[in-house]
Amino acid sequence: MRNRFCLRSIAVMWRPALLLMLALPLLASAADADDRQAAIDRLMQPYDGDVPGASLLVLKDGRALVRRGYGRADLERGIAAGTDTNYRLASVSKQFTAAAILLLAQDGALSIDDPVKRWLPSLPAVADAISLRQLLAHTSGVLDYEDLMGASWQGQIRDAGVLALLERENRLYFPPGTTYRYSNSGYALLALVVERASGMDFPAFLHARIFAPLGMRDSLAYVAGGRDVPHRAWGYSQAAQGWERTDQNIYSAVLGDGGIYSSIDDLARWDAAWYDGRLFDDATRALALGRQVPVDTAPEATWYGFGWRIAEGRQWHNGESIGFRNTLVRWPQQHLTVVLLSNRNDPTPYATAQAIGALFLDEIPAARP
């Protein structure tokens, strides 16, 4: 009886200590989460309040660890930025344009080694040697349409207008395939190739082959007079008297290089599609995310894939247009993704997204080259 009593007494005395020992990892984890959230709030503070805002998503293993909006999507009406707010993606759109070409190649409707003039025969003779692969990787040498428009350009230029400008220019920056130069013109031409090869207009193709299959219900390539952008964020720029709306300029109607609107919730679905076969086979993913050409430009020296920048253990792309600054950064080996979309002209949020990602990488084994 004495031994049984002693054992019971010892168990009673040690029970609080045992429970505390079991709880310590949970308490430490909660403290870590609190510290991490405080660090995120500090990084995101410039976007908070009655200012043009941002929407932030952090995904780990397909689960949203952070998913929230900061500031305003519409200053004039006081509408808050949220998880379903749709931002003009600017050049983050390029990964969708590249994906459209790759889906058509996967279907056998075209080859990425097709001459661009197979699909756009009105281009001048200087384009004879340009392939779709070179347009995808920014190694075509085609001229920047922005520099060809002139100061007196009236209205907004569209993808077909980019083609019309290039039809008149029988010159390139360099022989195709010899070097890298980032090209919005090239991606406008790719959007037109999608239309010629599929028999569908570019917004309809994106909806039918990417947005609808992935459940990206609010994403679209925006055309004035067409479907309205749901939950739309309006773009702003800092001015002497505060923020002024600068949502569109003469380049904003070109779709292939930057005309897609999407939200962090929809981009979570887009991110998931790069881990499985719901859209792309293994060969297509390898092309899109492969090291196609070295890039020795800011913010860091990387490689370019097809619509993606490729670094050691990381895939990303920024998007910058009047009134919008965006970034999508993936650490695929750790299944970690940070998406940061904003409706303001400054700053570019890549460094902020990197810093937020680092807060979660401290619990994850370092990426191997």
> 9, 29, 55, 91: which one is catalytic?
91
For the chain, the first-to-last Cα distance in angstroms comes to 64
Q: Using CA of residue 354, residue 355, residue 360, residue 362, what is the dihedral sign?
A: positive
Q: How far is CA 80 from the centre of its chain?
A: 22
**What sign does the CA torsion over 189, 193, 187, 265 have?**
positive
Spatial contact of 320 and 91, defined as CB atoms under 8 Å apart: yes
Within 8 A by CB and 6+ apart from 200, the residues are 194, 208
Q: Are 347 and 239 in contact (CB under 8 A)?
A: no
183: β partners: none
The burial class, CB within 10 Å (0-12 / 13-18 / 19+), for 68 is middle
Residue 369, helix vs strand vs coil: coil
b/e per residue 231-246 (b: at least 16 CB within 10 A) = bbbbbbeeeeeebeeb
Q: Which long-range contacts (CB under 8 A, 24 or more apart) does 347-356 make?
A: 347/46, 348/299, 348/318, 348/320, 349/54, 349/325, 350/299, 350/316, 350/318, 351/299, 352/43, 352/44, 353/327, 353/329, 354/329, 355/43, 356/40, 356/43, 356/56, 356/58, 356/66
State yes or no: is 152 an active-site residue.
no
Task: Report whether 148 contacts 165 (CB < 8 A).
Answer: yes
Residue located via tokens 């459940």: 215
Structure tokens at 109: 């409707």
- CA-CA distance, 74 to 87, in Å (whole number)? 11
Active-site residue set: 91
